[in-house]
A and B are shown apart, each in its own frame.
Chain A
Amino acid sequence: MFGSPTLRQLAPLLALVLGALALQQLLPQYFLYVGNLLMMYVILVIGLDLLIGWSGQFAFAHIAFFGIGIYATTILGTRYDLPFLIAMPVAAMLAGAVGFLIAFPATRLRAVYLALATFAFAECAQWVARTWDSVTKGADGLQIPPTSILGYAVGNDQHAFPVVAIILALVLAATLYLQRSRFARSMSAIRESEHVASASGIDVKRVKILSFTLSAIYAGVAGGVYTLFNSFVNPDILGVAQLVLVLTMLVVGGSGSIAGCVLGAVLIGILPEVLRAAPRSMLVWQEFFYGLILVLAIMFMPRGFFGAWQAWRDRARHAADKRDAQASQDTRLRAKASTEASS
């Protein structure tokens, strides 16, 4: 550990939970749904960022783990009558276990081969969800019954809202701690250079496998969250479109930082809802806009909105420093001139 998160970092999390409890009664159902959705996406995006932004492994399997999380939570809840508080962690662990298993062969692959292999894995997972009728009910999908947490019934978006906020706050807090761990530094070292990392005594393979597992667990948690405010799941949720959506959030927000992930999830997650409010004729443009946003974002803001903002802030700060230095030099010169004049 390199210190613990500052109060300034942890306070917003408390504000998030308190705000959710306060707004639960005030906001209309639809806004609560969008809020739940956005918070779920934040968890999903941060999980993906662990792999792509932190350790530089470009893996596409994330959405498969998300699907495992959803299906496992639902099935554990309906078939085995497990309460959500047990079903969700078990499902997340299951997703983590699958991530752990595919990490062994996957970490042998590099760069684009890893991307393609994990992409293929995600497609296979979708196919399994579509064909394994006895468990997933195939393309028809599964009903997700309302659940309850310690006697608190979670039946609709309004009930789910504070629960999702609490889970998100816990996940964010865990991420803040993780960010300061030795493990996170190892991941960044691997991202910068695997050779240097292993020469500095980092067990590259172990760190990679762990980051795969952790990322899968995040996706599994997001899957569990999904079951709280949705009443239905079908294999379409495991599709490429969903993956591209999460990737867009990461790229537009800015990978490698928690704030960037949150920003991206909110900006891109809200887009379909905004488009829904637009006239129907706009709806067909949705794919086009995603493509355009992706291309423009990667062209002009390779580090996302957050990265662009950071760069702008640094430049502004630099300029201010320069101005200050200039100003103090000016006053010094003027003082010197005045003393010379008086003498």
Chain B
Amino acid sequence: MSTIIVQAVVSGIVTGCIYALVALSLVIIFKTTDVVNFGGGEFVMVGSFLALFALVYLGVGYALALLLAAVAMFALGVTFDAVTMNRIGGRLYTRQTELVPTIVATIGLSYLLKGIVRVVPYTEEPRRIPPLFNAPPIFVGDVVIQAQDVVIVVATTLIMIGLWAFFRFTMAGRALRAISQNARAACLSGMPVRTLRMVVWGLSAGIAAVAGVLFAPKLLITPDSGTLVMFAFAAAIVGGFTSLPGCVVGGIVLGVTQNLVGVLIAPQAISVTPFFIIMVVLLLRPQGLFGDAIALKKV
């Protein structure tokens, strides 16, 4: 029994890392533009399909496919912000972003992407991307760790560190932090707010694509894989919705909880776990584990 639980915890951490990556892609957008991207899951799904097509049709290597998918998704994110969000949020420079139009637009985006993928041939059946390494699984006692699991954890850590460094040390990252605190003041002090927002959307889509490519070997990809976004929302909410480390902690908490629920309570309850967690956290501690007071005042 204890082995099963340890195994559940280990694989929970791995799926939690994927949730964390997707949650990061949502949170960086929310922090800087006050937009909640309901199409985040479709970014993941489209990213993994793009990588799959690059692998199959272009015959490129794994690393190049990952890169191509990430770059293509970056472009998609930038385009969506430039074309749609810019127009809707005519007043995005001010504190108050109108909620309903932005949410409706991102829901529209999610249907749009899902619809496009569905009409592309070759997507009717669930697909799988081969894992990055075909190394044999590692045994720690009775617990099995797949090579892909190690890749996922390492990649998440690297992206996390990269994002932290980006927001800490680069000019663009610091400008983005300024924008998230006060967009109008940032604009007045000469920061190219509009461009930076496009960069954030691109970055978010790029991270989502990486998450999709990493995730695809573990689960099958279908046009409906975008529902993954709800797990990411749950992870982000546990972490406070504005905190980057919070996403990672929230993702892992969610992944582990989900697996333990599956083992200890009932497998049917797995699918409802994230929603239950969202409700409980929002009711009892809306600021999450790491959300700051400003974040609460902000909305």
**B-binding residues in A (CB < 8 A):** 52, 58, 105, 108-113, 115-117, 119-121, 123-124, 127, 131, 244, 247, 251, 255, 284-295, 298-299, 302
Contact = CB atoms under 8 A, between A and B. Distances in A.
A244 B272 CA distance: 20
Nearest to B86: A299
B168 interface: no
B275 A124 contact: yes
24 contacts: A105-B283, A109-B282, A110-B299, A112-B30, A112-B99, A113-B241, A116-B237, A117-B279, A119-B275, A120-B279, A121-B275, A121-B279, A127-B272, A131-B268, A244-B107, A284-B118, A287-B114, A287-B115, A288-B118, A290-B108, A290-B115, A292-B115, A299-B105, A302-B88
B276 A298 contact: no
State which size class the interface on B falls in: 35 or more
A52 B230 CA distance: 22
A109 B279 CA distance: 11
A130 to B, nearest CB: 8
Given A121-B275, A292-B112, A295-B105, 16 more contacts: A108-B283, A116-B233, A116-B282, A119-B278, A121-B279, A123-B275, A127-B271, A127-B275, A131-B268, A286-B115, A291-B111, A291-B115, A294-B111, A295-B84, A298-B101, A299-B87
Contacts of A113: 241, 282, 286, 299
A251 B98 CA distance: 14
Contacts of A52: 100
A243 to B, nearest CB: 9
B67 to A, nearest CB: 27
Contacts of B36: 112, 115-116
Contacts, number: 116
Given A116-B36, A285-B119, A109 B272 contact: no
Contact of B113 (A112, A284, A291): A291
Contacts of B241: 113
Nearest to B272: A127
Interface of B: 30, 36, 84, 87-88, 99-101, 103-105, 107-116, 118-119, 230, 233-234, 237, 241, 268, 271-272, 274-276, 278-279, 282-283, 286, 299
A244 B38 CA distance: 12
Contacts of B286: 108-109, 113
A298 B237 contact: no
A210 to B, nearest CB: 20
A112 B105 contact: no
Given A109-B286, A117-B278, A288-B116, A244 B299 contact: no
A286 B118 CA distance: 10
Contacts of A110: 299
A291 B282 contact: no
Given A58-B100, A113-B286, A120-B275, A284 B105 contact: no
Nearest to A131: B268
A298 B111 CA distance: 14
Interface core residue of A123, A255, A295 (most chain B CB under 10 Å)? A295
Interface core residue of A117, A120, A131, A247 (most chain B CB under 10 Å)? A120
Nearest to A287: B115
Contacts of B268: 131
A298 B88 contact: yes
Contacts of A124: 272, 275-276, 279
A117 B88 CA distance: 24
A173 to B, nearest CB: 27
A115 B99 contact: yes
A298 B112 contact: no
B241 to A, nearest CB: 8
Contacts of B104: 247, 251, 294, 298
B163 to A, nearest CB: 22
A246 to B, nearest CB: 12
Nearest to A251: B104
Contacts of B278: 116-117, 119-120
The 7 closest A-B pairs by CB, nearest first: A288-B115, A294-B108, A291-B112, A291-B111, A287-B115, A295-B108, A120-B275
Nearest to A121: B279
Contacts of B233: 116
A255 B101 CA distance: 11
Given A110-B299, A124-B272, A291 B114 contact: yes
B88 A299 contact: yes
Contacts of B112: 288, 291-292, 294-295
Interface core residue of B118, B119, B279, B299 (most chain A CB under 10 Å)? B279
A116 B253 CA distance: 19
A334 to B, nearest CB: 44
A123 B111 contact: no
Contact of B110 (A109, A284, A285, A291): A291
A105 B280 CA distance: 10
Nearest to B116: A288
